[in-house]
Amino acid sequence: MTTVHDFKVRAADGAEVSLAEFAGKLLLIVNVASKCGLTPQYEGLEALYRAEKDNGLEILGFPSNQFKEQEPGTDAEIQEFCTTTYDVTFPVLAKVDVNGPDADPLFVHLRAAAPGDFGPHLGRFYEAISALNPDAPADAVKWNFTKFLVGRDGEVIKRYEPPTTPEEIREDLQQYL
């Protein structure tokens, strides 16, 4: 059975990163963007990372420019933004597609393992995003800052839709750390 640990991704500098390196760690994988209304979530993600990294939490950010081109920069520009604006110390990897024919295989796997709970209970956010992407498949990543929680064994535990803040998932993380 395939787990997240079976995938390889690219670091921002182009180096290959095997996710097997994170075996034994709790992972929070997030598609991120620098010019989104949700970009301030970087602050909460970084606070969560600093508080829990010694307990086995790793956060991996994957920039994507698929949502209204809100991540237009180069990998180097994204790194600069993350460090200077939010003092991000968790890994922000190379820019990827999270949906469509060129979707990174990791995100194809994440979406299949945790199709999400994107629906009317998200209120105006749901209405706005649904209007922008009316034909999106049910498992598609709908917007920036979708988060996937992955267990120490590489199995996907849960998906959090974009409006769910890092602070709101802290309690969930505690049961796995």
Averaged over 90-97, what is the pLDDT? 98
CA dist 105 and 147 (Å) reads 16
pLDDT of residue 16: 98
Average pLDDT over all residues of the chain: 94
Confidence bin at 54 (pLDDT 50/70/90): very high
* Range 110-130 average pLDDT: 82
Q: Which residues contact 33 (CB under 8 A, 6 or more apart)?
A: 39, 63, 64, 65, 67, 70, 71, 144, 145
Instruction: Catalogue the active-site residues.
Output: 36
Predicted local confidence at residue 32, as pLDDT: 98
Residue 9 is predicted with a pLDDT of: 98
- In the predicted structure, residue 119 carries a pLDDT above the cut 80: no
pLDDT at 61 over 90: yes
Domain locations in the chain as residue ranges: 4-174
Provide CATH code, domain 4-174.
Answer: 3.40.30.10
User: In the predicted model, what is the mean pLDDT of residues 93-115?
Assistant: 96
- pLDDT score at 30: 98
